[in-house]
Amino acid sequence: MSGAQPLRIAIAGASGRMGRMLIEAVLAAPDCRLAAALDREGSAALGQDAGAFLGQSTGVLIASDLRAGLSGADVLIDFTRPEGTLAHLALCAELGVKAVVGTTGFDEAQKAQIATHARHTAIMMAPNMSVGVNVVLKLLEVAARALNEGYDIEIVEAHHRHKVDAPSGTALQMGQVVADALGRDLKQCAVYGREGVTGARDPSTIGFATVRGGDIIGDHTVLFAGTGERIEISHKASSRGIYAQGSLRAARFLAQRPHGLFDMADVLGTR
């Protein structure tokens, strides 16, 4: 794709909170163009101008015809639900459209399907598109290696009342980074809930705690609790705009990749 040509971006879940944030970011980016705004069949937003919520006329109407929407796009940005995202990626692979996936909650079989689609097109998938969060992931890797003995590790995350999966994909990714750095298997050492007489804490475990309420956009803290000190590495989001800007950065990265499965460490060069 020529550098003089704007990157044509389609947005899935266009009428949702994240979809609107993505549309606003694309419209504000001089090197991007909104190619399609997609939503599920039956959505009340179908037929509306994608920029109506901003008081703008874009000429792009929110539609449910995925094939038609993707036919004029270079990249799809998708923050929807696992089943919907998988259907979208199958068509992206068929049409050669690249995809930025911020959807969370995939199981192992679904992740394997995504890897298969990535043989045919370029996919960047990350549970959190924030540049700051992905810098934190690198810090956690360094901290876990240095604090590999004598420190109990707990991960606490908080999100808005509408979030449907727990723990968050970002919290799980943080746990995975820490476990990998310590040489542990997260599936074996993760503790997702405590109730009643639990006994003393097993020092080999990584604990998760989840908070849901209000309009919290996303808070994550990883606690390394030792004897006489504790280290807390935190990230707190105050705007969904950080996810939209990270998504556009990922879309620009994919523009030069014909196929493959990537994450934000690839985009930021922090691997």
**SS3 assignment for 173-207:** HHHHHHHHHHCCCHHHHEECCCCCCCCCCCCCCEE
Out of 163, 220, 235, 236, pick the active-site residue.
163
Beta strands at 230-237 and 218-225: parallel, antiparallel or unpaired: antiparallel
220 and 166 Cβ atoms separated by less than 8 Å: no
Tell me if residue 120 is catalytic: no
Concerning whether 159 is annotated as a catalytic residue, the answer is yes
Residue of 98, 159, 220, 235 with catalytic role: 159
The answer to whether 118 and 112 have CB atoms below 8 angstroms apart is: no
Report the distance separating Cα 16 and Cα 243, nearest Å.
14
Q: How many residues does the chain have?
A: 271
What span, in angstroms and rounded, lies between the C-alpha atoms of 264 and 245?
A: 12
Cβ atoms < 10 Å from Cβ of 195: 5
DSSP state of 269: T
Which two tokens mark 25? 């970011």
Pairing type for strands 190-191 and 152-159 reads unpaired
| 43's tokens | 């959505």
Catalytic residue positions? 159, 163
